[in-house]
Chains A and B, each alone.
Chain A
Amino acid sequence: GAGVSQTPSNKVTEKGKYVELRCDPISGHTALYWYRQSLGQGPEFLIYFQGTGAADDSGLPNDRFFAVRPEGSVSTLKIQRTERGDSAVYLCASSSGQGGETQYFGPGTRLLVL
């Protein structure tokens, strides 16, 4: 079966622009997670969805970041007024519900803000 997919693979944008990053989880996985990984660091938690609702968005760095999952499957991470410090790899993961202990990661989107 297909794994987690993310688009685009790479995104280059200019400071101040708006970007959307998409995640397609594994079919049937109700839990979805976004992480951000800066160079030389491990992934840092951003937000967790259980179904359509954001159960925990405590990792979002500020109100420029927002994520949705309107139908409980595909999720979009939205970043407004991008800053150079937003440059990182954005990783999406999914797991089989709240009890699913293993998170399956997508290949990530590498975002570069010039």
Chain B
Amino acid sequence: SQQGEEDPQALSIQEGENATMNCSYKTSINNLQWYRQNSGRGLVHLILIRSNEREKHSGRLRVTLDTSKKSSSLLITASRAADTASYFCATRYNDYKLSFGAGTTVTVRA
């Protein structure tokens, strides 16, 4: 079973706008990671946030984590056409296993 749930399921924005997607999970975690997937193939690791961190930045990406609400958000600023992809949150709650949500499909219109 999948622990994480992303919201919304799909998002369509204009190039240059910001995109925000959320992830909720059920059990305590060691860390939470966000991945991107293009065209249903390999996943690319974007960012990892540990359970004792609240916010993290990487380039145009900003991730927040609220362990009291068991939720995380991913913000992509100044979106580009190349950001069109599916985005997945993955929670890690033991030494190795990742549990993925169903993903948010982001479409960036030129």
Task: Report the Cα distance A103→B97, complex, angstroms.
Answer: 10
Q: Is B107 an interface residue (CB 8 A)?
A: no
Are the C-beta atoms of A105 and B2 separated by less than 8 Å?
no
- Known contacts A31-B96, A48-B96, A56-B96: does B102 contact A41 (CB below 8 Å)? yes
**Interface size band for B:** 20 to 34
Residues of B within 8 A of A104 (CB): 45
- Known contacts A48-B97, A56-B96, A98-B96: does B102 contact A103 (CB below 8 Å)? no
Q: A-side binding surface: helix, strand, loop or mixed?
A: strand
Binds A, one of B36-44, B59-67, B72-80: B36-44
Q: Is B25 an interface residue (CB 8 A)?
A: no
> Interface residue count for A (Cβ, 8 Å)?
31
Q: Is B11 an interface residue (CB 8 A)?
A: no
Q: What are 11 A-B pairs at a CB distance below 8 A?
A: A40-B102, A42-B102, A43-B88, A43-B98, A56-B96, A89-B41, A95-B96, A98-B95, A98-B96, A105-B35, A108-B42
